[in-house]
Amino acid sequence: MTPPTFVCLTNVPTPYRDFFFTELRRQLEELGWRLEVWFMARHDARRTCHWQAGDFDFPHKFLSGWTTRFLGHDLSFNWDVRRLLREVQPEALLIGGAWIDPTVWISARSRFAQQTIFWSESHLRSMDHTSSVARFLRRLALNRFRSFAVPGRLAREYVEKYVPSPQIYCLPNLVDPEVFRDAVRKQRAEQRNTQRRRALLIVARLSPEKGLVPFLESLQYLDPHERAKLALWIAGAGPLRAALQQRIAEFGDIEFQLLGDQPQSEMVRLYAHADGFCLPSLADPNPLSVIEALWVGLPLLLSSRAGNHPEALENGGNGFLFDPTNPRGSADAISRWLALSDDELSTFGSKSSRIARERFEPQAAIRAFLSDVLLPEQRPILTKAAGQS
């Protein structure tokens, strides 16, 4: 008997999604299901991820087709997706990617899948295009679906604005805890940070939507003694590197490191020796770096435009929320973080670790998602498998 099939159609391979798909495959196999992951393209122009075929520990294929750059997005047209859906006839089809992607439109109303779910991470303050035409097309695209997987509250509000009475499932973005929590603890035990300045780590692409230039401008509102206590580490690459370097030169009393893209091993070292994590984005659907920082156990300074701040941040408990368009507000968040004692800093970090365990534990999150999504006749098997794990 052929096992029921769960297909995930997504844009390109990325390391964090590979971890998710591996755990999803494992849990589906425990339930007697089979996972297939279909990639629309091999690379995205905005990403710097490198991979090899042996990196994937789950069944996968790259669809035939072509990709073009349009309005800041890599859009794929995969002409064989309808044929594959007809051949496989999956019991569940999870579609990730931009709503304007032609392959998403083609697959949205497939009559060959028993249920189709759109994986949506956007929120109302992360939208690239807000014209009346864009709003009309967005509504048209999203209404091709009745079911959605969203990572949190703001993404849910986005779907509910455009789709009447949608079926919504919770699927948070997830990272491998062993990479960050366990490796960072080992590095911290081997070498404690003895620097005089307090290190604030930003992990972000150097592009306008990440809000780095306005954030640097907010540093002028810090007192001189606060700037003398601050070390700002920025890990990432992108088109604004030269502009950031020019802006950094104006702050001679702050220690800056503009680090570029770093391999995972170096990122683990940076997380281990940072005293806090900051993301000043002007528009950010659901950033993974925030989840990484939680597992590391760092206090958070988060923009109110970061899509996962309601789930990741307890304002005043494990960090501080700020409006990235208000320079004085951004500076105030840094000031409050700098004013924390070492014991308070440790308490904030412990709360971040607790939030990671309670809300972003991969096995539990995927199990809960599957318990909601799988067909009713599969749920008794799921309950049994969960009790055995």
Give 191-247 pLDDT, tens digit per residue. 555 557 999 999 999 999 999 999 999 999 999 999 999 999 999 999 999 999 999
- Cα–Cα distance between 130 and 126 in angstroms, integer? 10
Burial environment of residue 308 by CB neighbours within 10 A (0 to 12, 13 to 18, 19 or more)? buried
Q: What is the DSSP letter of 282?
A: S
For the cut 90, the answer to whether the pLDDT of residue 157 exceeds it is yes
Task: List the Cα angle 339/259/307 in 5-degree steps.
Answer: 65
What is the pLDDT, as a whole number, of residue 93? 97
Burial environment of residue 1 by CB neighbours within 10 A (0 to 12, 13 to 18, 19 or more)? exposed
What does the pLDDT look like over 248-302, one tens digit per residue? 998 989 999 999 999 888 999 999 999 999 999 999 999 999 999 999 999 999 9
For the cut 50, the answer to whether the pLDDT of residue 389 exceeds it is no
- Give me the torsion for CA of 338, 339, 341, 344, rounded to 10°: -90
- Cα–Cα distance between 240 and 238 in angstroms, integer? 6
Q: Which helix (H) or strand (E) holds 302?
A: strand 300-303
What does the pLDDT look like over 72-104, one tens digit per residue? 677 888 989 999 999 999 999 999 988 989 999
For the cut 60, the answer to whether the pLDDT of residue 381 exceeds it is no
The chain-wide mean pLDDT, for the chain, equals: 90
For the cut 90, the answer to whether the pLDDT of residue 182 exceeds it is no
Residue of 15 and 382 predicted with greater confidence? 15
- Of the pLDDT bands very low, low, confident and very high (cuts 50, 70, 90), residue 52 is low
For the cut 90, the answer to whether the pLDDT of residue 30 exceeds it is yes
- Cα–Cα distance between 332 and 312 in angstroms, integer? 20
What is the pLDDT, as a whole number, of residue 380? 47
Q: What is the DSSP letter of 167?
A: E
pTM, full prediction: 0.91
How many residues does the structure list for the chain?
389
Beta bridge partners of 158: none
Which alpha helices (H) appear in the chain, and where do they start and end?
15-30, 81-88, 102-108, 132-142, 153-162, 177, 183-190, 212-218, 224-227, 241-248, 264-273, 288-296, 309-312, 327-338, 342-359, 362-373, 379-388
